[in-house]
Structure 1
Amino acid sequence: MRLPLLVCLVLLQTACGQQAVKPVAPPPSPPAQPAPATPPAAQGELPPVQIPVEGGKPMIQPQPVDSVKAVDYTTLQAASWEQMEGLQQDDLRPAWPAWLQSCSTLVNRAAWKAVCERSAQLNPRSSAAIQSFLRQHFDVYRATNVDGSDTGLITGYYQPLLKGSRKATERYRYPLYSRPADLITVELGELYPELANKRVRGRLVDGKLLPYYPRSDIEAPAAPLRGLEFMWVDDIIDLFFLQVQGSGIIQLESGERVPVGYADQNGYSYQSIGRVLVERGEMTLEQASMQSIKQWGRNNPDKLRELLNQNPSYVFFRELPAGLPGPLGALGVPIAAQRSVAVDPRYIPLGAPLFLSTTQPNSSQALRQLMLAQDTGGAIKGGVRADFYWGAGAEAGQRAGAMKQPGKIWVLLPKGFKLRAASAN
């Protein structure tokens, strides 16, 4: 769960709030795992989906698809396979393991059970075999916005790498906090059906639910969450952007790399610090970017804390097992670099395959390929809206930061899928 770089850091928006996922208790730390397998050779078999195991049991259990109670399918229009120009040229084999990851959760849903069980029995050796399977078992729907248009914004995100320590030191003094036990989430739709998929967070004080601590309180010298630190990093700006992305990797001095992921959020809407700098005349809208904001902070260390506090939103993390093939998305399974996207789950069901037609970051070069809807984000709103996961590290960050492209989306749903205005299929 994260926020796209360009939308939430650059544009003059006033609120890009993180969307909630139900917290998952962190699993026990597993032994070191081997690195994920490399992509299959051109004519080889696809590698199996990799989930770390301990004692013969998975370290990560797929989570139920319940962050949104119902999906509004009225924005999906029946379409044909021929409309997805570029599908024939896409090598579908890298998407197949990502699809099996989706199935580890979707198999528990009646509408998806049969196709996921058939997928588990298949070991396709070619892109043609995968496309044949998809055509046999899925129907195509064109995604539209509520106004009927079929083009939307495609942005990007990535997994940053930070330097850190398991102990606070003079160098490593900026903490990552685990989810506080006193953070309460109220699903408003359970009280008022018209508020379905709406929620508030807070803490109980004298029997009243009050807003949770904002960023300025959490990072104040009083440190109300002291004791919940589980990792420290050396750069407060990098920590801020880790919260924006929602997951990352902490590299320890020993060389060990520790994956961390989104656990929850304090309930405040994201406020763009890029917008603040533009309004204050510190930079122009065209200049505002992740890189320029970081540079401004390093040039103005005495003003940095005050700037960061303009965004009251604060993200809590949890340590993830070593050996995961990717960060955990809102679906509860590892997401795949360049094959997973974040969507608005009010209009596209989490886990579904989709075909994305857009262009490369800051380019007119076509980017058309099969993706999996495995994540969500606070700024990902609308029927034709996606955030493209580029992977981990600096190069992925450059691509993600430059991506703000128009695009179209087609969604694949199992044959016989019953479309309803508000369906929990």
Structure 2
Amino acid sequence: MRALLLALSCLAFAPAASMGQETRHEIVNFASLEGWAEDDHRAALDVFLSTCRDMRDPDWLTLCALGAEQRDNARQFFELFFRPVLIGNDDTMLFTGYFEPELNGSRYRGGKYQYPLYALPEEAEDGSWLARAQIETEGLLDGRGLEIAWIDDPVDVFFLQIQGSGRVRLDDGTSLRVGYAGKNGHDYRSIGLELVRRGEYDEHEVSADNIRNWVKRNGEEGRALLNHNPSYTFFREVSQVPAEKGPLGAMNRSITALRSIAIDPTIIRLGTPVWIEKEGVEPMHRLMVAQDTGSAIKGAQRADIFFGTGEDAGRRAGYVRDGGRIVTLMPIQRAYALGTGF
């Protein structure tokens, strides 16, 4: 009990977070979180503890230290030291999913391995460079030793760039892992929505598998479709991450399947616990941790759920386009500074 009182005292003098004035904040009750009592709070706390030490504000560091002592009382920990805050605007909630792909590749170009994964060139280090079509067609990266690996499928490279990290099974029997190194600064544009606009699919039919099949069926036109998205991702090798761990997220720590979520960090701070209530074919009510970001993840009610590694995870993630809501768990003093009350 003494530790609990000390932590509350520290929180009382913690600085409040600053949020945009156009965003509304409403404190809600834990009892209003559908499925809260049934969740595995210990699992969520372990994920929170994996990154909270990197949150440098005194209140978050206090909670991080206390959480390590309260793993057997995880639900009580969250209910005592946090308040659920609904952060909203006029946007409709949208959940999508992402995963860590597994690709086939080689350290050397040859045969079917013709499509490179590039390291970040110095021209793009400031986050502003050429669009995808120019990078792909003008050969500006050729012969510069920036190729990390050569992949056997250009669509796999494209989806890897969207996901931001992945594993490559090499033709010599070994493997490597790549993570995000930087981008060319262009905004993401959905090729799935472009196919809907062209009348190729209805919106509910868009999935990673259908996009992949369309590109392969349509040859040069299929390759040109990929350039509809001008955004381009560069990679770095991160093979030091243990195979049993998830890929590195935006906090440069491994993320966890079905417990890590990508959010808009201008609205929700990285490392924050987030309760999700996802609708759809695979409903999900659970406590996640905001440990990642994405170029398409913008707004208060927008989130991307990490489903894990490999083909099955990719299939599950590819069909997620669901409504619902997310509720951010904030330290008590920060919540009261922003919220409108129960």
Compute the TM-score of the two structures, normalised by the length of structure 1: 0.69
* Alignment partners' CA distance in 1, 2:336 and 2:38: 30
State the secondary structure of the residue aligned to 2:123. coil
Work out whether residues 70 and 346 of structure 1, in 8 Å CA contact, stay in contact via their aligned partners in 2: no
Matching residue of 2:116: 175
Q: CA 1:419 to 1:251, structure 2 compared with 1: closer, same or farther past 3 Å?
A: farther
What is the Cα-based RMSD across aligned positions, in Å? 2.3
Q: 1:331 aligns with which of 243, 246, 251?
A: 251
- Structure 1 residue 419 displacement after superposition: 6.3
- Residue 338 of structure 1: CA displacement? 0.2
Measure, in 2, the Cα distance between the counterparts of 1:279 and 1:385: 22
SS in 2 for 1:417: helix
Q: How many Å separate the matches in 2 of 1:167 and 1:232? A: 6
Q: Are the equivalent residues in 1 in contact too, given 2:53–2:61 (CA < 8 A)?
A: no
Q: Distance in 1 between matches of 2:224 and 2:102?
A: 25
Match of 1:231 among 142, 145, 149: 149
**Which of the numbers 376, 393, 396 marks the counterpart of 2:310?**
393
What is the CA distance between 1:247 and its match in structure 2?
Answer: 1.2
Separation of aligned partners in 2, 1:396 and 1:403: 11
Classify 1:213/1:132 alpha carbon distance in 2 versus 1 (closer, same or farther; 3 Å): same
Partners of 2:219 and 2:114 in 1: CA distance: 15
Partner Cα separation in structure 1 for residue 173 and residue 273 of structure 2: 36
Q: What is the CA-CA distance between 1:408 and the residue it aligns to? A: 1.6
3-state SS in 2 of match to 1:182: helix
Deviates most, 233-242 or 305-314: 305-314
Residues 233-272 of structure 1 aligned to structure 2 (within 5 Å): 233-272=151-190
- Residues 286/372 of structure 1: CA separation in 2 closer, same or farther (3 Å cut): closer
Task: For 2:242, give the aligned amino acid.
Answer: G
Size of the alignment, in residue pairs?
A: 318
Q: Which string of whole-angstrom CA distances, capped at 9 and with x for unpartnered residues, describes residues 365-401 of structure 1?
A: 6421111011112222221221111111111111111
SS of structure 2 residue aligned to 1:219 = helix
Q: 2:212 aligns with which of 294, 298, 301?
A: 294
Q: Is the 8 A contact 1:355 1:410 kept in 2?
A: yes
Partner Cα distance (1:75, 1:304) in 2: 42
- SS of equivalent residue, structure 2 residue 89: coil
Instruction: Please give the per-residue CA displacement for 1:20-50, whole angstroms capped at 9, x wherever unaligned.
Output: xxxxxxxxxxxxxxxxxxxxxxxxxxxxxxx
Measured at CA, do residues 284 and 366 of structure 1 come closer, stay the same or move farther in structure 2, by a change above 3 Å?
Answer: closer
Indicate conservation of the 8 Å contact 1:261/1:318, yes or no: yes
Higher share of residues assigned helix: 2
Q: Is the 8 Å Cα contact of residues 59 and 331 (structure 2) preserved in structure 1?
A: yes
CA distance in 1, matches of 2:250, 2:19: 15
Rounded to whole Å, the distance in 1 between the matches of 2:62 and 2:241 is 32
SS at match of 2:42: coil
**Residue type of the partner of 2:117?**
L
How far the C-alpha of 1:99 sits from its partner, in A, is 0.7
Q: Which of 9, 31, 49 matches 1:82?
A: 31
In 2, the alpha carbon distance for the partners of 1:121 and 1:280 equals 56
Letter in 1 for 2:228: Q
**Structure 2 counterparts to residues 250-399 of structure 1, below 5 A:** 250-320=168-238, 321-323=240-242, 325-359=245-279, 362-363=280-281, 366-399=283-316
Q: Secondary structure, in 3 states, of the residue corresponding to 1:369?
A: strand
CA distance in 2, matches of 1:238, 1:130: 40
Correspondent of 1:112 among 60, 70, 75: 60
Is the Cα contact below 8 Å between 2:189 and 2:229 reproduced in 1? yes
C-alpha distance in 1 between matches for 2:204 and 2:68: 48
Counterpart of 2:110 in 1: which secondary structure?
A: coil
Q: Is the 8 A contact 2:166 2:179 kept in 1?
A: yes
Partner secondary structure for residue 93 of structure 1:
helix
State the AA in 1 paired with 2:106: S
CA contact (8 A) 1:274 1:288 kept: yes
Aligned with 2:334: secondary structure?
coil
Distance 1:337 1:286, change over 3 A: closer
Counterpart position of 1:146: 89
What is the SS of the residue equivalent to 2:51?
A: helix
Shift of 1:71: 3.8
Say which of 181, 202, 213 aligns to 2:130. 213
Contact 2:28 2:85 in 1 (8 A): yes
Residue 167 of structure 1: CA displacement? 1.5
Matched, 1:131 2:75: yes
1:407 equivalent in structure 2? 324
Give the drift of 1:223. 3.5
Between stretches 305-314 and 350-359, larger displacement belongs to 305-314
Looking at structure 2, the residues matched to 340 and 284 of structure 1 have their Cα atoms a distance apart, in angstroms, of 30
Q: For 2:236, give the aligned amino acid.
A: R
Given that residues 75 and 347 in structure 1 are in contact (C-alpha distance below 8 angstroms), is that contact kept between their aligned partners in structure 2? no
Output the CA distance in 2 between the equivalents of 1:115 and 1:284. Answer: 46
Relative CO higher for 1 or 2, CA cutoff 8 Å, sep ≥ 6? 1
Give, as a single letter, the amino acid of the residue that structure 1 aligns with 2:294: G
Where do 5+ consecutive residues of structure 1 fail to align? 1-68, 186-200, 203-211
Shift of 1:280: 4.1
